[in-house]
Structure 1
Amino acid sequence: MIIVLSRSQTGTKRKQTLVKYIKTLTVLLLTGTLLAVGIIAGLYQYIKPDLPSVEVLKEVRLQTPMKIYTQDGQLISQFGVKRRIPVTLEQMPQEMIQAILATEDSRFYDHPGIDIIGVFRAAVNLLVTGEKSQGASTITMQLARNFFLSREKAWMRKIKEMFIAWHIEQLLTKDEILELYLNKIELGHRAFGVGAAAQVYYGKNLNDLSLAQIATIAGLPKAPSALNPISNPAASKERRRVVLGRMLTTGFITDAQFQQAANAEVSAAKHGAEIQLDAPYLADWIYSQMLERYGKEDAETKGYRVYASVNAEHQRAAQKAVLRNLHDYDERHGYRGPVKQLWGQPVMAGDSSEKTSEQEATSGSSAQTASTSWTRQAITDYLQQQPGYGPLEPAVVVSTQERQITVMRASGDIHVISWDGLAWARSFISDTEQEPEPEVATDIVTQGAHIFIRFNDELEQWQLAQLPEVSGAFIALNPDTGAVEAVVGGYSFYHSQFNRATQAERQVGSNIKPFIYSAALEEGYTLASIVNDAPINQWDRSSGLAWRPKNSPEVYDGPIRLRKALGRSKNVVSVRLLRAVGLDNLIEHLAKFGFNPEELPRNESLALGSASLTPLEVASGFAIIANGGYAVEPYVIDRIEDEQGEIVWQANPKLSEAALSRWIELHQPNPEQSQDSMDAGATIVPESSEAMPELAPQVISEANAFLVKQMMQTAIYGGGSWNKGTYWQGTGWRANNILRRDDLAGKTGTTNDAKDTWFSGIAPGLVATSWVGFDDMSRSLGRTSRNQYLINKNPKKYNWLGNAMVGGEDGARVAQPAWIRFMQQALEDVPEAQSSVPDDIISVRIDRLTGKLTQRSDHTARFEYFIKGTAPDQYVERDEFVDPFQQTEQQQETDNGSIF
């Protein structure tokens, strides 16, 4: 039997089957969903103990490097492994935000931290290819990984990443998440965040970047090492095109913008921080203090902004003065030869039993030099691997002419060095001997020599140079506050990190004498006191030897006033004063200036400067003389700010009386209120949110400091009469000859065999100490013979200051020029200021030879200062009076003797 179903019955059957399938599918979907939820819940419970708390993101602190600035806001350095420049979302250019979103997470503002579409796409890709090439990471997930997880491609890490991302989305707004991401993401070359990347790759602020540069940075998160434009410019350019293509697809840029940016040249190059003042010795000193205060981790990552007490212009002046001074010394002692001979034959220098290590290295390498010249590419490749120091640049001699050479720099640039830049380079034999002056260029160097060159500002051209073997240090302080105004620890921090200004303890020589004279004043001596400048012979029974301290040079004036004795730095007078004061009393007095009594030698050599002190300690001692007797404490950090610019530490130095008076005057209430307060009988106190500074302890009297400074002024200006032939010069006369000011005071210092040379001086608002010597303490600074080329090319007055000086080296010739050059700039706009005379100081006319009162007003007399009650009470008798102008020629020559 055949059953025929109607069309309606067939449709009903199909509907029933479809409903059945839908029900089954629904059950399966619900079961699958429940199962997925169960699995996810189970996974969550399983890994929950290992999940970090994202609450820390509310108070996240990005690891921001410490930055050090001058007092006037110029960046000196930054410290910290990670470079980061935090930028708010509002401060970022819109194109940067668009490029990141288009490339990394175009649905960022639409998903809850996990992009389901992206996850599905990655899953399909895995099924099709079998590879985990697509990670489906959202920006929130990347942030989770960067803060809490690793980059390992593992399922469990990805699951953790999703859970953390979901937590983050519950805790922070989308803008907060994006801002954290843009500041946290690693972008290669130690740059973290887009702000730092802009600086590292382009040396610019974010808002100064072009579209091409923005796209380059936006392409880096995928693979910072492989795609960065410095390490792999070709791959970076291709990645940049991908970023720009996605920006075009999302409508962020036009086709014209795409074409222009995609075809732009790769312009990236590695940049450091925007250093405005390269002062590494200063920066390192501050860095070490920050480590002591906060520890390495916090100091380098909390984003501290440290402001030094140093003025940028003073620091530049000090650095320039020290470098010029060391080059002057080095050049007048001769040329030690090229760094290396790359091809050809080196110059055969004269025989010397005292070759330096540099010469030995040069001569030792000559046997291995090539016989033919190198190609241009080979030269530049070689030079780019060679170090430079300060103003010194490595170069190679590519040709020589009769009186000039042609050199190539690492950049490939070619320069001709004329005879003016070469002629100084007579050969070095030893610290005390130089070869005759060169006649032609090949007497100095030959083709193929690796040399140093530097740009000479005075000649306005490049000149042959060498790395000085001699060392130097310089430090300047504000004597009223102790603020460090400038510090230089050596020729080049990158050659030697040892800070000689703060760490090198060297014998001070005659720099100790002002402090000895200060002790003598405490014992009743005056500036007019007569001391016998005559040889001392003291037999030592224990050693069987006689101690014979000598003047330098060995000229003795007989009876001499204290003022003149210090001005001319008489050694035997210093010894006699020590004996008069007593060694124990002297050491006790020196301790008042901050010198550690436990480290001072307890014998009479102390009078000649056998004590070893740092330049900082010496300058601090002279600051007490400069400020009226107050022991201010040196400091180099003015204030410390946090990332938000809030001050977390502020220097609060104790001040001299003069500085405290100025502070009070500056912070006085307005005149009307002051008058009202006085009328009401109220006590006037300064109106200021700042606490009133404390007065520094006074360790010597104002009168004592004034009189010592007077004697130090004589060291610069001398005394006597030109017309009457009685004029004499102090050891520091060059300062007066060049600076032409009447408000300077100073003291030279030279140790035995000129192993250490010093000059410390006082000027309005400044006290500074300059030191020059070899790091090898056995090495003497030596002497030089005449070099006519150096004399000819120096302006006449600077022949007394620069590399043209002839003879034995000492504090005046070697250390003082740096002090003078620094003061030339530091005092340029500072008016002359005479010291005020303390109330307990009087002035009377004395006879220059006897120190007694006189009624004469000619060249035999002068006005002298005395503490009240200490002035002489006797007049010079007729039979005592001697007119120096009428003395014998021999005596005149003695009185006009050496400038030492």
Structure 2
Amino acid sequence: MELATRKSYMKRRRLIRKFVWGCVLSVFGGFMALSALVIYAYQMEAPSLSVPETTVVYDANGATIGEYHKGEQRYWVPIDHMSESIVEATLAIEDRRFYDHYGFDPIRITRAVIANLQTGTKGQGASTITQQYARNLFLTHDKTWMRKWQEALYALRLELHYSKEEILEGYLNTIYYGHGAYGVEAASLLYFQKNAEDLSYSEAALLAGIPKGPSVYSPYLNEDMSIERQHVVLNAMDDAEYISDAQATKYENEVISFSKDMEIHGTRIAPYFQDAVRMWLIEDLGMDESMIDGGGLDIYTTLDSSMQEKADAIVAEEMAPDHALETAFVAMDPRTGKVKALVGGKNYKESSFNRATQARRHPGSAMKPFLYYAALEHGLSPNSMLKSEETTFVFDEGREEYSPSNFNHSYANDYITMLQALAISDNIYAMKTHFLLGFEDLIHTAKRFGIDSPLKPAPSLALGSVDLGVLEITKSYSPLANGGYVVNPQFVEKVIDRDENVLYEANEEPVLELNPAYTAVMTNMMEGMFEPELSTSYGAVTGGSISESFDRPVAGKSGSTDKDSWMIGYAPQLLTGVWVGYDEAIPLESGDAKHSKQIWAKFMKESLDGELKLTFPIPENVVEVEINPFNGLLANEHCPLTRKTLFFHGTEPTEYCQAPEQGLDETELEETDDKMDEEYKKDEEEKKEKWLDRIFDWSS
């Protein structure tokens, strides 16, 4: 009996020893496995915390005008730019022991297991903030063992490589709050139209309750459930001792005023302009679209929101919404190239086609300033006279003919000055000048002004029979307004990434490409389109209908074809171009053409009201003299009309107006014109040289 008892005792002892050793080995094995896992996780590189973030677009004054994203509103803000209330509310309801665990909470897991066993469901979750953050960054929400294992591994990696503050900041910037809003900043803007750092405790508690079920607890979908969930969060904050019982009761009874429009402010101000900014970032700056949509950039643009508002209102007032007639509009500072306002069409929702940057149309007589600038460089002056009459031009050694006409086939059948020809847009004068200089000369000059489109040498080029962009030709008027400097359109001032690194900052300097003396003379002539006294019996100045709109120096040129209507003009500090026509390039109907000038005049007047009345610069080698604009002679008592006109020094007239009986001899002028016609048939270079000699003699 005693022997049996001893054997039984020894057996139990061996079993206990094996059990103890088994436990020791299990603990050791578990420790080694855990150590290996930690070492393995630590040896892996730190997981990237980068997530797609909304890129914010600002106007010139720093106000938000829009965002670029892929349907997900995300704004990354540092944790110290979040209110204490949202941090505490989130910790209380999501992970009260966040600072006491290493990515997993054994106590919480145990409680969840017991609760689920008692209820027979899997409704009680145990994921920590770190695990949720890992899932948001790297994984799907599938409930599989593989996903759980990956979630655990990523959570461990996050805890090993990042601080608790970095993890909490990342979580609060990536959690989903419903309606496309990711992160507390986007949610604060969405629900309360305020920044996350300005949230009250009652507002923070409401937000913190939404991620458990955005489709259930969104106040937009179920306000009662949202408020009920807010009370749960406030009680959790009370239990966690973030707030007192009295404070919890107070916050529960506070009336919350959340936004009812379900929009974040500034999403689509100036949509055509924002599209132009996006294209510039891609095509000119070489930025990848994924960076624009998800890089969390801050893009500071040149847009003047006040001017844009005026432009939008004027276009809406002037253009009938139910009519197919379309428009495009660009306003910029001619001194810097900064685009202040841009309209690409009447209604962005109906058509996002940006006519200001994408359409290409014939500019008509809006090409003439380039032509007459070239003429000034070749020795002609504002008082140079050519005969306006019905003319057929022969070129290509007699093989080709070209027969342009004036508006309504009206001609002076007399000699007119360049000043007058530009003011009333006489086509015959322009064509004679074009043939005189040679077709290539206009191409070369237009490119110097900034025209980038391909141009072909042809008679019709002087009358604008070439496809140009609205922004392209508008910016090409800048040298006329700024004294000869070519500027490129500038949409963006600065681009900053989420880490405050400056990716781009505008520093382009204007290039002096044209002679300031001749640009000053051209501008002075282009003021003539707004001077009704320069009108003639066969043609009125083209800006007469809007001449009463201004009490300050403005200059410009209109342009028209049977399918297009243009008005491009400027003051020293503002340049605006307007196009009106049909997308299908069909002929304009009666009354269509007037809208381009009306839009231009209204915008310029409203935008410049209250601004300094600047004068156009006049270089020292330019002189101002009073002439008779009809015959180009110096003014005296015999002149029926006088006008102060600029001339390059040495080219101003020296003869005075004569009494009627001592007027210019018509036969002499006829002979001069005949000699010009003969010059057309000679070699181009020889023709230019002989003509310049002749014109200097003739104009002196």
Closer, same or farther in 2 for the Cα pair 1:147/1:855, shift >3 Å?
Answer: closer
Name which of 558, 561, 575 aligns with 1:748.
Answer: 558
Counting helix residues as a fraction of each chain, which structure ranks higher?
2
1:744 alignment partner AA = V
Match of 1:639 in 2: 494
Mapping of 1:101-112 within 5 angstroms?
101-112=91-102
Do 1:52 and 1:148's aligned partners in 2 also have CA atoms closer than 8 Å? no
Say whether 1:291 aligns with 2:278: no
Q: Where do 1:172-571 residues align within 5 Å? A: 172-255=162-245, 257-258=247-248, 262=252, 267=258, 269=260, 271-275=262-266, 278-292=269-283, 293-326=286-319, 330=320, 466-537=321-392, 547-557=402-412, 558-571=414-427
CA shift, 1:288, in A, is 2.1
Displacement of 1:709: 0.8
Partner SS for 1:719: helix
- Contact persistence 1:845–1:862 (CA under 8 A): yes
Match status 1:757 vs 2:565: yes
Tell me the equivalent position of 1:374.
Answer: none
Query: 1:578: how far off?
Result: 1.3
Q: 1:67 maps to which residue?
A: 56
Q: Which string of whole-angstrom CA distances, capped at 9 and with x for unpartnered residues, describes residues 429-463 of structure 1? A: xxxxxxxxxxxxxxxxxxxxxxxxxxxxxxxxxxx
* 1-structure distance, mates of 2:200, 2:37: 48
Aligned partner of 2:577 in structure 1 is 769
In the superposition, relative to structure 1, how do residues 864 and 181 fare at CA in structure 2: closer, same or farther (>3 Å)? closer
**Aligned position for 1:652:** 507
Secondary structure of the corresponding residue to residue 761 of structure 1: strand
Contact 2:47 2:157 (C-alpha < 8 Å) held by counterparts: no
Are 1:580 and 2:388 matched, yes or no? Answer: no
Higher mean Cα deviation, 828-837 or 31-40?
31-40
**Aligned-partner residue type, residue 881 of structure 1:** G
How far 1:125 moved relative to its partner?
A: 3.3
Aligned equivalent of 1:739: 550
Partner of 1:856: 637
Aligned AA for 1:712?
M
Take 2:627 and 2:318, find their aligned partners in 1: how far apart are those partners?
Answer: 40
Counterpart of 2:650 in structure 1 is 869
- How far did residue 291 of structure 1 move? 3.2
CA gap of 1:262–1:64, structure 2 versus 1, over 3 A, is same
For 1:852, what is the secondary structure of its paired residue?
Answer: coil
Cα separation, 2, equivalents of 1:610 and 1:30: 97
Alpha-carbon displacement from aligned partner over 1:554-574 (angstroms, at most 9, x marks no partner): 332221111011111112221
Q: How does 1:562-641 map to 2 (within 5 A)?
A: 562-596=418-452, 598=454, 600-641=455-496
Residue 611 of structure 2 is aligned to residue 830 of structure 1:
yes
Q: What amino acid sits opposite 1:69 in the alignment? A: Y
Q: What secondary structure, in the 3-state scheme, does the structure 1 residue paired with 2:318 have? A: helix
Amino acid of the residue matched to residue 626 of structure 1? A
Aligned twin of 1:113: 103
User: What are the Cα deviations for residues 251-291 of structure 1, in whole angstroms up to 9, with x where unaligned?
Assistant: 44455554565576795646333318711111111122223
Consecutive unaligned residues in structure 2, runs of 5 or more: 665-700
Q: Is the 8 Å Cα contact of residues 386 and 429 (structure 2) preserved in structure 1?
A: yes
Match of 2:566, SS?
Answer: strand
Residue 713 of structure 1: aligned partner: 527
Deviation, 1:712, is: 0.6
**Residues of 2 paired with 1:877 and 1:592: CA distance?**
40
Q: Secondary structure at the match of 1:815?
A: helix
Question: What value does the CA root-mean-square deviation take over the aligned residues?
Answer: 3.6
Whole-Å separation in 1 of the counterparts to 2:323 and 2:43: 57
| Structure-2-length-normalised TM-score | 0.84
Q: Distance in 2 between matches of 1:186 and 1:847?
A: 75
Superposition deviation, residue 734 in structure 1: 3.7
Deviation of residue 114 (structure 1)? 1.8
Query: Which letter maps to 1:65?
Result: T
Distance 1:29 1:178, change over 3 A: farther
Q: Deviations over 1:816-873 (max 9, x none)?
A: 1111122123212222222333222234444444323464365344444322332344
Change (3 A) 1:31 1:104: farther
Of the three residues 126, 130, 134, the one matched with 1:136 is 126
Q: Deviations over 1:286-330 (max 9, x none)?
A: 12222342202222222211111222222222222222221xxx3
Q: Structure 1 residues 728, 52: closer, same or farther in 2, change over 3 A?
A: farther
Aligned length: 652
Do the aligned partners of residues 135 and 868 (structure 1) sit closer, same or farther apart at CA in structure 2, a change above 3 Å counting? same
Q: Which residue of the partner structure matches residue 96 of structure 1? A: 86
Q: What are the Cα deviations for residues 627-662 of structure 1, in whole angstroms up to 9, with x where unaligned?
A: 22222222211111222444331111222xxxxxxx
Return the alpha-carbon distance in structure 2 between the equivalents of residues 227 and 41 of structure 1.
Answer: 44
Task: Name the counterpart of 1:356.
Answer: none
2:73 match: secondary structure: coil
Question: For residue 837 of structure 1, what is the amino acid of its counterpart?
Answer: I
Q: Does the CA-based 8 Å contact 1:477-1:483 persist in structure 2?
A: yes
Quick one: distance in 2 between partners of 1:766 and 1:556? 34
- Tell me the percent identity: 32
Once residues 160 and 41 of structure 2 are traced to their aligned partners in structure 1, the CA distance between those partners, rounded to angstroms, is 19
1-structure distance, mates of 2:609, 2:401:
50
Q: Which residue of 2 aligns with 1:658?
A: none
Distance 1:91 1:518, change over 3 A: closer
Q: Which piece of structure 1 moves more, 301-310 or 150-159?
A: 150-159
- 1:92 corresponds to which letter in structure 2? M
Q: Structure 1 CA distance, aligned partners of 2:453 and 2:182?
A: 51
Structure 1 distance, partners of 2:291, 2:152, is 31
In 1: Cα distance, 2:477 partner to 2:211 partner: 57
Report if aligned partners of 2:482, 2:572 keep a CA contact under 8 Å in 1.
Answer: no
Q: Distance in 1 between matches of 2:103 and 2:318?
A: 64
Distance 1:874 1:267, change over 3 A: closer
Determine the C-alpha separation between the residues in 2 that align with 1:820 and 1:830: 16
| Amino acid in structure 2 at the alignment position of 1:834 | T
How far 1:26 moved relative to its partner? Answer: 9.3
Aligned-partner Cα distance in 2 for 1:254–1:208: 21
Between 231-240 and 832-841, report the one with greater CA deviation. 231-240
Q: What is the aligned partner in structure 1 of residue 686 from structure 2?
A: none
- Cα distance 1:181–1:837, how it changes in 2: closer, same or farther (>3 A)? closer
Letter in 2 for 1:507: H
1:92–1:24 Cα change, 3 Å:
farther
CA drift at 1:47 = 11
Q: Deviation digits for residues 344-379 of structure 1, max 9, x if unmatched?
A: xxxxxxxxxxxxxxxxxxxxxxxxxxxxxxxxxxxx
Moved more, 490-499 or 106-115: 106-115
Query: Contact conserved, 1:718 with 1:729, CA < 8 A, in 2?
Result: yes
Q: Distance in 2 between matches of 1:219 and 1:739?
A: 59
The secondary structure found in structure 2 opposite 1:536 is: coil
Matched AA of 2:559: G
Which structure 1 residue ranges, 5 or more long, are not aligned? 1-12, 331-465, 656-695, 784-807, 883-900
Which residue identity is paired with 1:273?
A: I
Stretch moving more, 31-40 or 87-96: 31-40
Q: 1:193 to 1:843 in 2, by over 3 A?
A: closer
Q: 2:436 is matched by which residue type in structure 1? A: A
CA spacing shift, 1:507–1:643, aligned 2, 3 Å: same
- 8 A Cα contact 1:203 1:271, kept in partner: no
Which residue identity lines up with residue 564 of structure 2 in the other structure?
D
